[in-house]
Amino acid sequence: MNVSVVLFTSDLRLHDHPPLRAALDGSSAVVPLFVRDRAVDTAGFAAPNRLAFLADCLRDLDTGLRERGGHLVFRSGDVVDQVCRVVREADADDVHMAAGASAYAHRREERLRTALESEGRRLHVHDTVITALAPGAVTPAASDHFAVFTPYFRHWARQQPRNVLGAPRAVPVQEGIGSEALPRRGDLSALSEGLAEGGEREGRTRLTAWLRSGIGSYEDRHDDLPGDATSRLSPHLHFGTLSPVELVHRARKAGGPGAEAFVRQLAWRDFHHQVLAARPDAGTTDYRTRRDLWRSQTSAARDIDAWKEGRTGYPVVDAAMRQLRYEGWMHNRGRLLTASFLTKTLYVDWRVGARHFLELLVDGDIANNQLNWQWVAGTGTDTRPNRVLNPVLQGKRYDPDGTYVRRWVPELEGLDGAAVHEPWKLKGLERAAHDYPEPIVELADGLARFRHARGRA
């Protein structure tokens, strides 16, 4: 009997899953395996919000497998050791898994390949599981990756993604392989109270609702902060409970300007993955350095804390930062303006902000988080690296009635309309009536004029 192990990583689904399909086609039984990788914990990447969402995803994956006659094997420890153990216990010949884009994913693949081959077994790494097009599938003439989104998108849009695979009807598994108990969301503390639910079933329900009643107005409403009119599918893409290939096909089938704009965002996701795959160091070092001398974290400590806590005195910045803490998610416009405020206004290193986002974001990943931070900071792929987003103008433009600010900053809920974006303009008693901080910096064209002689050292 030929047995294959399917190692699930960031692809926690049964629909459109090329490694699982290949394993089922080539063997009489499979072992669906997830390893809680010690290296992810050691690297400080196992944030409680993502662990909670992951627990939902694993339970849902296990349920889906049980409905098809199988079940999930869950182990923890070093991923290579654990896979090799399971391979030996099952006497499997092959291991199938999805290709990853990060430096860590590449090292994991290499270590796994070497270890398996030394025992006469094979590793099969499948593209287009985590991204719609594989990194490197389209390249410019003179480089191994695109450094600018617009030409990338032109090439990307001309490619036809592979066909979508259905979920298998049955998953015959090799019995007798021991599993640790699956984690539970309830085992974790320090979670965001408003954290979304994980799992493929939940992802597919959201996707259906989005295609039916959200995507049509996406082009017009994607920047509407109070309207909250984006798909909120990012955690499902991050954990792979939804397939990007399937999303591209189904959005294109829905058609119209909203669908086109949505597909373009999926291409941004692929774009960042192909940059990271070619430049793995971009997760930590400037993609295009501008030799910024960021303020030292000691001199900026008070401002950094105020930013993290949502107490900068700039209402739309504070609203977005509080949304992040409460939900483990933030609207894209909020991410743009809070990141600009930290890097361009307060002149704090993008890595400080990226780290804080990764501690809380349920969709937080190296490709999208670090490269978007670099884009905003002007050290990344933005062709206008000097762009600065003024938080007052951003608030008035994307939250014109102040509804978003009042939702997240209760101290200001008594203020009407757009007045909420400039509470410092209120006079006397009205001003004293709300317990909201004064702005931590004065602005001139979005840039700070530091009040306490805090230099840019």
Ligand X SMILES: Cc1cc2nc3c(=O)[nH]c(=O)nc-3n(C[C@H](O)[C@H](O)[C@H](O)COP(=O)(O)OP(=O)(O)OC[C@H]3O[C@@H](n4cnc5c(N)ncnc54)[C@H](O)[C@@H]3O)c2cc1C
Which residues of the chain form contacts with ligand X (CB under 6 A)?
Answer: 222, 230-234, 237-238, 262, 265-266, 268-269, 272, 332, 335-336, 339, 357, 361, 363-365, 368-369, 372-373, 376
Concatenating the DSSP letter of every residue in 409-430 gives: -GGGTTS-GGGGG-GGG--HHH
Task: Considering the complex, state which of residue 200 and residue 365 has its C-beta at the smaller distance from ligand X.
Answer: 365
- The residue (of 94 and 365) whose beta carbon lies closer to ligand X is 365
Complex with ligand X: residue 113 or 204, whichever CB lies closer = 204
- At 112, the amino acid letter reads L
| Beta carbon nearer to ligand X, 34 or 268 | 268
Closest by CA to 370, choosing from 404, 396, 335, 394, is 335
Look at the block and give the residue holding tokens 């007045």: 419
R_g of the chain computed on alpha carbons: 23
Task: For the CB of residue 44, give the shortest distance to ligand X in the complex, in Å.
Answer: 15
For the CB of residue 311, give the shortest distance to ligand X in the complex, in Å.
20
Tell me if residue 176 falls in helix, strand or coil. coil
Least distance CB 369 / ligand X (angstroms): 3
Q: Taking the complex as a whole, how short is the minimal distance between the CB of residue 170 and ligand X, in angstroms?
A: 31
Q: How far is the CB of 19 from ligand X (least distance, A)?
A: 21
Nearer to ligand X, 72 or 362 (CB): 362
How far CA 100 is from CA of 84, 106, 168, 259, 378, in Å, comes to 19, 7, 23, 27, 26
411, two tokens: 């101290």
Of 171 and 266, CB closest to ligand X: 266
Torsion of CA 361, 362, 363, 365, to 10 degrees: 60
Taking the complex as a whole, how short is the minimal distance between the CB of residue 355 and ligand X, in angstroms? Answer: 12
Q: At what angle do helices 301-309 and 315-327 cross, to 10 degrees?
A: 70
Those residues with Cβ within 8 angstroms of residue 150's Cβ, 6 or more apart along the chain or in another chain:
none
Nearer to ligand X, 88 or 154 (CB): 154
> CA-CA distance, 8 to 95, in Å (whole number)?
10
Q: Going by DSSP bridges, is the β-strand pair 447-449/442-444 parallel, antiparallel, or unpaired? A: antiparallel
Q: How far is the CB of 179 from ligand X (least distance, A)?
A: 30
| Nearest to ligand X of 75, 222 (CB atom) | 222
Spatial CB neighbours of 203, under 8 Å, sequence gap ≥ 6: 13, 233, 236, 241, 242
Residue 335 φ then ψ, to 5°? -60, -40
Contacts of 330 (CB under 8 A, 6+ apart): 320, 321, 323, 324, 338, 361
Q: Which residues contact 449 (CB under 8 A, 6 or more apart)?
A: 441, 442, 443
Number of C-alpha atoms within 13 angstroms, CB side, residue 375? 18
- Whole-number minimum distance, CB 210 to ligand X, in Å? 8
| Beta carbon nearer to ligand X, 174 or 340 | 340
- Shortest gap between Cβ of 246 and ligand X (angstroms)? 13
Choice between 15 and 454, CB closer to ligand X: 15
Which residues have C-beta within 8 Å of that of residue 294, sequence separation ≥ 6?
A: 347, 348, 349, 456
Q: How far is the CB of 191 from ligand X (least distance, A)?
A: 17
